[in-house]
Amino acid sequence: MRKALLAAFVMAMCASTASAQTIGVSMSDLDKFRTALLNGVLSHGKTISGLKLVTQNAKGDNELQKKQVQQLIADKVDAIIVAVSDGDLGPQMTKLAGDAHIPLIYINNVPSNLSDLPENQVVVASDEKESGTLETKEVCSLMKGKGRVVVLMGEPFHAAARARTQDIDDVIATPECKGMQVVERQAAYWSRDYADQQMQEWLSAGVKFDAVIANNDEMALGAIRAMKRNGMAMKDVIVAGVDATDDALAAMEAGDLDVTILQSAVGQGATAVDAAIKLMNDQQVPRVNNVPFELVTPQNIAQYLPKSQ
């Protein structure tokens, strides 16, 4: 009887310990990609017995996101996964989690204090040197190394936006692509609507271009919408984005989008959850955990389409 009670107590303690493992997830916003990113976290989390996930959406408000992270800390979560809109928020997030001795996983956006992160804080992202480089090299190939280009950038202080834009400039500076010329570049803040407005301004001003290189698919799709509204034939312009979202793949199938780069939201989400679990259990995790990018074109799109198609 005593052994049976002891066994029951141990089982109850194990169940209690498992149920006590909670990961707080703080998203800066929920656009198409970040929604996919959150879904990647949640879907992988569901496969892990006894794991609880608590999510917060700051809706683009940095101050609100800091308050939400503070609330997660007050709620005594065991780890926090945070997607910040601005890498410069890193030092503040690091201090909040560090003071509370809670593991912190930055997902998708690299914090500005990367080199100073403590052992229980890591980054899960993709090497942005790959994204803009793959994207622009493919555009260069399609343009045969020459032509006029307009660039749509994400949030000016977002590490990915800065890196992808630098990638564009670096590729255009190579001998193979030196005939390409950037005639306009503006921030459209990852937004389809802002990109639509910016493209409309360029078209109304008479800007001539042969290609549109966008830091993400949402902006590429906004540019396409504006160009089609103005009667432009999409076969006459090359359009490139990053993320390989479902909407982007549909646009590629329709012949409107020529290039996109898969940034695996599912891969980043799963890797972030796995890193959080390891850190919660005092296991070592590399400071930077990269999930590779993949080039998607009309020639290989079939392997990236949803299984139902």
In-domain check, residue 297: no
| In a shared domain, residues 151 and 207 | yes
Burial group, residue 278, by CB count within 10 angstroms (0-12, 13-18, 19+): middle
Task: List the chain pLDDT tens, one digit each, 309 residues.
Answer: 434 433 333 333 333 333 469 999 999 999 888 999 999 999 999 999 999 999 999 999 999 999 999 999 999 999 999 999 888 999 999 999 999 999 999 999 999 999 999 999 999 999 988 999 999 999 999 999 999 999 999 999 888 899 999 999 999 999 999 999 999 999 999 999 999 999 999 999 999 999 999 999 999 999 999 999 999 999 999 999 999 999 999 999 999 999 999 989 899 999 999 999 999 999 999 999 999 999 999 999 999 997 533
| In a shared domain, residues 146 and 198 | yes
| In a shared domain, residues 60 and 94 | yes
In-domain check, residue 305: no
In-domain check, residue 53: yes
| In a shared domain, residues 143 and 246 | yes
| In a shared domain, residues 160 and 177 | yes
Residue type, position 221, single letter: L
Map tokens 């800007």 to a residue. Answer: 207
| In a shared domain, residues 121 and 16 | yes
For residue 134, the enclosing domain spans 128-263
Alpha-carbon gap, residue 33 to 39, rounded angstroms: 10
182's tokens: 């950037």
| In a shared domain, residues 58 and 145 | no
**What CATH number does residue 191 fall under?**
3.40.50.2300
Residue type, position 17, single letter: T
pLDDT in tens, 48-81: 999 999 999 999 999 999 999 999 999 999 999 9
Q: Decide if 212 contacts 153 (C-beta within 8 A).
A: no
In-domain check, residue 301: no
| In a shared domain, residues 139 and 256 | yes
In-domain check, residue 188: yes
Number of domains forming the structure of the chain? 2
| In a shared domain, residues 117 and 201 | no
In-domain check, residue 238: yes
Residues in the chain: 309
| In a shared domain, residues 259 and 139 | yes
Please state whether beta strands 79-83 and 104-107 pair in parallel, antiparallel, or not at all (unpaired).
parallel
- CA 182 from chain center: how many Å? 25
SS (H, E, C) the chain: CHHHHHHHHHHHHHHHHHHCCEEEEEECCCCHHHHHHHHHHHHHHCCCCCCEEEEEECCCCHHHHHHHHHHHHHCCCCEEEEECCCHHHHHHHHHHHHHCCCCEEEECCCCCCHHHCCCCEEEEECCHHHHHHHHHHHHHHHCCCEEEEEEEECCCCCHHHHHHHHHHHHHHCCHHHCEEEEEEEEECCCCHHHHHHHHHHHHHCCCCCCEEEECCHHHHHHHHHHHHHCCCCHHHCEEECCECCHHHHHHHHCCCCCEEEEECHHHHHHHHHHHHHHHHCCCCCCCEEECCEEEECCCCHHHHCCCCC
Number of C-beta neighbours around residue 118 at 10 A:
13
What integer pLDDT is reported at residue 8 of this predicted model? 37
Which of 71, 85, 243 is CA-nearest to residue 159?
Answer: 85
Alpha-carbon gap, residue 159 to 138, rounded angstroms: 22
pLDDT in tens, 167-202: 999 999 999 999 999 999 999 999 999 999 999 999
| In a shared domain, residues 115 and 134 | no
In-domain check, residue 304: no
In-domain check, residue 54: yes
| In a shared domain, residues 258 and 274 | no
